[in-house]
A and B are shown apart, each in its own frame.
Chain A
Amino acid sequence: DAKTTQPNSMESNEEEPVHLPCNHSTISGTDYIHWYRQLPSQGPEYVIHGLTSNVNNRMASLAIAEDRKSSTLILHRATLRDAAVYYCIPEGGYQKVTFGTGTKLQVIP
């Protein structure tokens, strides 16, 4: 399994952009980088994923470094509903995946 490193916690003001970093230096060539988020007492929710190119969807953007050893999840305007734990997960196919402790995002009104 690829190992990941994320900050334990981050803060953002409401309606400001948030950049959540992740290092995954041991990622394999076929692993996609998935991001999930988890609200208290709920299961994780898929946010976005990518392989090499930057990706956008209605929830967020994903910026992937050219060497694929790191990525950044971008929330363009943080809202109170974005307060959650964010997990960065390199994964591919059926292989088992490892969820670390993620980054706890606090959004300040």
Chain B
Amino acid sequence: DGGITQSPKYLFRKEGQNVTLSCEQNLNHDAMYWYRQDPGQGLRLIYYSQIVNDFQKGDIAEGYSVSREKKESFPLTVTSAQKNPTAFYLCASRQPGYNQPQHFGDGTRLSIL
């Protein structure tokens, strides 16, 4: 079945470390997105990519970095510059077109040790 796979489901990080969250899709979607969700809050956009080798900052990009070397993959790195990285991270993808919904993965929960 087609879908979006995020790994790992749970991730622990020591302060000062960079960590990379994986997002892979086999839906052949052009656009991919990373969101952050804090407890009881909505989703906030970190980065998005409309096409391979291109990406744009969202509303809260500071302390994060991404790459889009392949259509299927959009990894997110949480750097040590992100002072409060503990959150639930969600990846999504979509096809082009005004009526196309986003498809989401099951998320990665990142915690600081």
A-side interface residues toward B, CB under 8 Å?
30-32, 34, 36, 41-46, 49, 51, 87, 91-94, 96-102
4 closest Cβ pairs, A-B complex: A43-B104, A99-B43, A92-B98, A46-B101
Measured between beta carbons, the chain B residues less than 8 angstroms from A102 are: 42
B53 to chain A, nearest CB (A): 15
A-B contacts besides A43-B104, A44-B90, 15 pairs, CB < 8 Å? A34-B101, A43-B106, A46-B103, A87-B42, A93-B96, A94-B50, A94-B96, A96-B33, A96-B58, A97-B45, A98-B59, A99-B35, A99-B42, A100-B42, A101-B40
B-side interface residues toward A, CB under 8 Å?
4, 30-31, 33, 35, 40-45, 48, 50, 56, 58-59, 88, 90, 92, 96-99, 101-107, 109
Decide if B99 touches A51 in the complex (CB within 8 Å): yes
> Interface of chain A, helix or strand or loop or mixed?
loop
Measured between beta carbons, the chain A residues less than 8 angstroms from B109 are: 41
Measured between beta carbons, the chain B residues less than 8 angstroms from A45 are: 104
